[in-house]
Amino acid sequence: MTASWWKMLRLAAGLLAAALAAVLVGWHSPSGPEQLRRQPRSFSSQPAPGAEANNLFWIIQVSDLHISKFQSPERASDFEKFCAETVPVIQPVLTLATGDLTDAKTEDKLGSDQFEVEWQTYQTILKRSKVMEKTKWIDIKGNHDTFNIPGLENVRNYYRKYSAWKKDGSFHYIHSTPFGKYSFICVDATLNPGPKRPYNFFGILKANKMQELSSLAAESSGSNHSIWFGHYPTSAIVSTSPGIRTAMRSATAYLCGHFHTLGGLMPALHTRHRHGTLELELGDWKDSRKYRILAFDHDLFSFADLKFEEWPVVLITNPKSFLYSSAAHEPLQRILHSTHIRILAFSPSPIKFVKVSIDGIHLGNAVHVSGPLYVLKWAPQNYSEGFHQIEVTVQDASNRNATRLHTFAMEENLSLTFNLLASWVLLTDLYVLVRVVFVLMVVVQIALLVIFRYRGNPTLKRPLGRAMRASFSLHILSKINFFYHSFLLLSFYTLLGPWFIGDIIDGHLGVCFSFGVIVDGHFFEGSTTYLVGIMQVAFFNLPLMAYTCWCLLLRCQGYGFGYYLRHAKQWPIHLSMALLFLWQVYSCFFLLKTYGTVAFFLSPLRLWTVGLTLFLVYRTWTLQSSMLRSFIVEMKNAQSS
């Protein structure tokens, strides 16, 4: 139920946002490596990819495991298989688990809490599979791993006890090889203290955290590559100046999770920042069993998003995909200087063949060098102009096939663009967008009330069109003090008032406003709150006002409540309002489940609004006709003229 509620929320926000997108928030989707040459870094064209298994390593990323005490136990058992069987086949030097290791949701999926058994399951899997002996395992926290934690020192911060990495906060891990240094920088934007769901959907980086990240970035400047990783996509991080994307501009890529590829709607949530950094969101383990393999081959970066137990796995490391190339971060000219096409092919069964073709012309089978590396001699000069497509098919001894293809190019002045929607989702500062939309909506509602209150009384003319009826009904509503003040109060309250007071963290009372949440002396800037505010205004405050207008208009035509109940034509309107009202009632229940009994009762915007609504509707139908007299006269004149 909440999953779909949440999906609906996200989808609605997406749609709303799409409408206002480019107008409100300045972003652009840079296309191809061409415009990145503004800050050129000189790269040597040597060493260039050849026939030997050198200057090469690869890592794995997995995200959003959501190991749960209550839901689908296969998540954990498959994950154990992944650690025990998949990782040994791939043999990555490093594995990154980018947050939401545990689900931390209650059985009804509404509430949230830390369950020690989920963490114990996670740790047992790591230990039993001995995966930490086979690869360097780095796991970080996601928002679920920080639900309902009063502080990092608290025992409920099980990450400290049961994870592999154990240390809170951002950090810099260096993978050193004989051929260079590779930096992996973690961005920890999780909240401390950790509120219960849903108000920790966005990460926050305050000034001190940003400074820490800047110094980590400076530390990594001597590395051949920097990869940044975190749980939240940059669009879901509230960060102080100069902004998280600028802070990570020296990174080749930022790896994250959290969005679950929007429930599978956007299978490739990938894009490029203005400075050339790739942002690569990875689908979840939870439902989609996704993982990712990333390779550095002679400092050319490539990756493939994969599904658990789909073998063989293929990754073409030279020539790499043009779309994911960054002239500011990689020595792209090495492709032209290379002597061999290079492919990584993995399978639990022996590989039978690795067939290579370019632009549909079969070039031959790549030969095995060592480990997963296969190479095929080629003449890159033959492809130095324009775009070309490379296609590789691998078959293993169990007769399983896999084909991988991508577009490559060697001219830097060409360009390819990322999916616009994916770029939009990852490059828009969503918290700014929802704030703007929310404030606009409330302002529109208040403006309507005030304008119609102070405009002169209307004169109705025939024919009575829809627009005229609507405007007339707004006049009625705004000019009757009771309704005017009620709706003004509702609007201003939604914008400014405390929405509820309750256990934001168990045993720690906090206050929720549209512009943020306060708990234990900490202020968390509004983000998810605005989204909830948009839903409130769009699906309750505004419809309720429209419904009241409509009812008042009917009253002016001399009809009572009973008359309209007998007329089937009007039912859809009453019914729609009843449904929206039920939704408001449900949101009280949701509040009870998420933030507890105190929140349920001390909730002006939830329980109290339900009361106000009932009173409003009652007053609408019991209002004395004398209060409507001038409008009734006007209506009669118009109808008889």
Ligand X SMILES: *[C@@H]1O[C@H](CO)[C@@H](O)[C@H](O)[C@H]1NC(C)=O
Judged by the rule CB under 6 A, the positions of this chain that interact with ligand X are: 47, 55, 179-180, 224, 298-299, 379, 382, 393, 395, 399, 401, 411, 413
End-to-end alpha carbon distance in the chain = 54
Q: What is the pairing mode between strands 56-62 and 290-297?
A: antiparallel
- Cβ of residue 292: shortest distance to ligand X, in angstroms? 21
**Contact between residue 626 and residue 638 where contact means Cβ atoms under 8 Å apart:** no
**Contact between residue 505 and residue 519 where contact means Cβ atoms under 8 Å apart:** yes
- The DSSP H or E segment spanning 619 is helix 607-622
Per the omega criterion (within 30 degrees of 0), is the bond before 47 cis? Answer: yes
- Cβ of residue 246: shortest distance to ligand X, in angstroms? 24
Q: Which is nearer to ligand X, 55 or 220 (CB)?
A: 55
- Cβ of residue 395: shortest distance to ligand X, in angstroms? 5
- Cβ of residue 179: shortest distance to ligand X, in angstroms? 4
**Contact between residue 81 and residue 286 where contact means Cβ atoms under 8 Å apart:** no
Closest of 1, 74, 13 to residue 201, by C-alpha: 13
Q: Which is nearer to ligand X, 319 or 526 (CB)?
A: 319
- Interatomic CA distance for residues 418 and 427, integer angstroms: 12
- Interatomic CA distance for residues 585 and 186, integer angstroms: 41
Q: Which is nearer to ligand X, 220 or 514 (CB)?
A: 220
- Cβ of residue 352: shortest distance to ligand X, in angstroms? 9
Q: Which is nearer to ligand X, 298 or 475 (CB)?
A: 298
Beta-carbon contacts of residue 75 (< 8 Å; ≥ 6 apart)? 65, 66, 67, 68, 285, 286
**Contact between residue 258 and residue 235 where contact means Cβ atoms under 8 Å apart:** no
Q: Which two tokens stand for residue 245?
A: 């994307």
Q: Which is nearer to ligand X, 224 or 527 (CB)?
A: 224
- Interatomic CA distance for residues 311 and 89, integer angstroms: 11
Q: Which is nearer to ligand X, 45 or 77 (CB)?
A: 45
- Cβ of residue 357: shortest distance to ligand X, in angstroms? 11
- Cβ of residue 222: shortest distance to ligand X, in angstroms? 8
- Cβ of residue 172: shortest distance to ligand X, in angstroms? 17
- Cβ of residue 224: shortest distance to ligand X, in angstroms? 4
Per the omega criterion (within 30 degrees of 0), is the bond before 242 cis? Answer: yes
Q: Is 293 exposed, middle or buried (0-12, 13-18, 19+ CB in 10 A)?
A: buried
Q: Which is nearer to ligand X, 303 or 540 (CB)?
A: 303
Q: Which is nearer to ligand X, 241 or 399 (CB)?
A: 399
Q: Which is nearer to ligand X, 130 or 377 (CB)?
A: 377
- Interatomic CA distance for residues 221 and 548, integer angstroms: 62
Instruction: Look up residue 149 and give its DSSP letter.
Output: B
Q: Minimal CB distance to ligand X: which residue?
A: 180
| Three-state DSSP state, 518 | strand
- Interatomic CA distance for residues 410 and 121, integer angstroms: 48
